[in-house]
């Protein structure tokens, strides 16, 4: 998370705000650079006159939260190992049901092209059912983990409904055939 769009709280001086921005940028660089600088949280902040204890603690908490958010590395869209939360999301109904469309929407073009081969299509359906969430994390860039979860939740909801409706129609057509 960056300081863009954030307004400086009145309890923090301009100099302290700049130090926070520098520290945040250094932390982001440290987590993503190959030769990271070691930067510690600023401890030389000076409390301004007239600031209540409550406001001062609130400003420090805001700074801690922002620093923690900045440290959460977003590795989506890279070949990096996905977070544990991604690996434990369960069956990927969107990938299983909407294989071809899902693959292209999540920038897994190679899988989408392979799905044009009939027998490979079936194999890929089960592969994306088991590993679809990981594939989406690795292939597509998301702004945040929250955006990723919301996107996958929508794919999974529609994929499950489509699966259930199709099997209901298959069952209905079998029943009509048997009864006629």
**Dihedral sign for Cα atoms in the order 140, 143, 147, 149:** positive
Q: What is the pLDDT of residues 21-56, one digit of tens each?
A: 777 776 666 555 444 444 455 555 666 677 777 877
Q: Return the pLDDT at 150.
A: 92
**pLDDT computed for residue 129 by the predictor:** 95
CA distance 39 to 22: 10
Global pTM reads 0.58
Among 6-15, 59-68, 125-134, 136-145, whose mean pLDDT is lowest? 6-15
| C-alpha neighbours within 13 Å on the C-beta side of residue 77 | 10
- Domains of the chain, by residue range, sit at 14-71, 89-179
- Mean pLDDT for all residues in the chain: 80
Residue 27 has a pLDDT of 63
Q: Per-residue confidence at 155, pLDDT binned at 50, 70, 90?
A: very high
Max mean pLDDT among 12-26, 55-69, 98-112 falls in 98-112
CA distance 47 to 9: 12
User: Above pLDDT 70, what percent of the chain?
Assistant: 74
Contact yes or no for 95/52 (Cβ under 8 A) = no
Structure token pair of residue 20: 């926070």
Q: In the predicted model, what is the mean pLDDT of residues 132-159?
A: 91
- Please state, in angstroms and rounded to a whole number, the distance separating the CA atoms of residues 8 and 119: 58
> Tell me, what's the pLDDT at 31?
55
Q: What is the mean pLDDT of residues 99-103?
A: 93
pLDDT confidence of 123, banded at 50, 70, 90?
Answer: very high
Q: Tokens in use for 76?
A: 């989506």
What is the C-alpha to C-alpha distance for residues 114 and 124, in angstroms, rounded to an integer? 8
């Amino acid at each position: 998370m960056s300081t863009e769009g954030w307004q400086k709280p009145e309890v923090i001086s301009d100099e302290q705000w700049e130090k926070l921005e520098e520290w945040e940028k250094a932390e982001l660089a440290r987590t993503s650079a190959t030769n990271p600088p070691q930067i510690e949280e600023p401890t030389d902040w000076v409390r301004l006159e007239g600031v209540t204890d409550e406001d001062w603690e609130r400003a420090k908490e805001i700074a801690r939260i922002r620093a923690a958010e900045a440290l959460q590395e977003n590795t989506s869209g890279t070949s990096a190992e996905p977070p544990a939360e991604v690996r434990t999301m369960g069956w990927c109904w969107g990938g299983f049901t909407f294989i071809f469309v899902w693959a292209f929407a999540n920038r897994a073009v190679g899988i989408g092209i392979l799905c044009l081969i009939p027998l490979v299509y079936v194999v890929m359906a089960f592969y994306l059912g088991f590993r679809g969430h990981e594939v989406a994390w690795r292939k597509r860039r998301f702004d945040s983990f929250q955006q990723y979860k919301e996107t996958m939740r929508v794919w999974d909801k529609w994929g499950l409904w489509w699966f259930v409706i199709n099997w209901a129609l298959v069952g209905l057509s079998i029943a009509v055939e048997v009864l006629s």
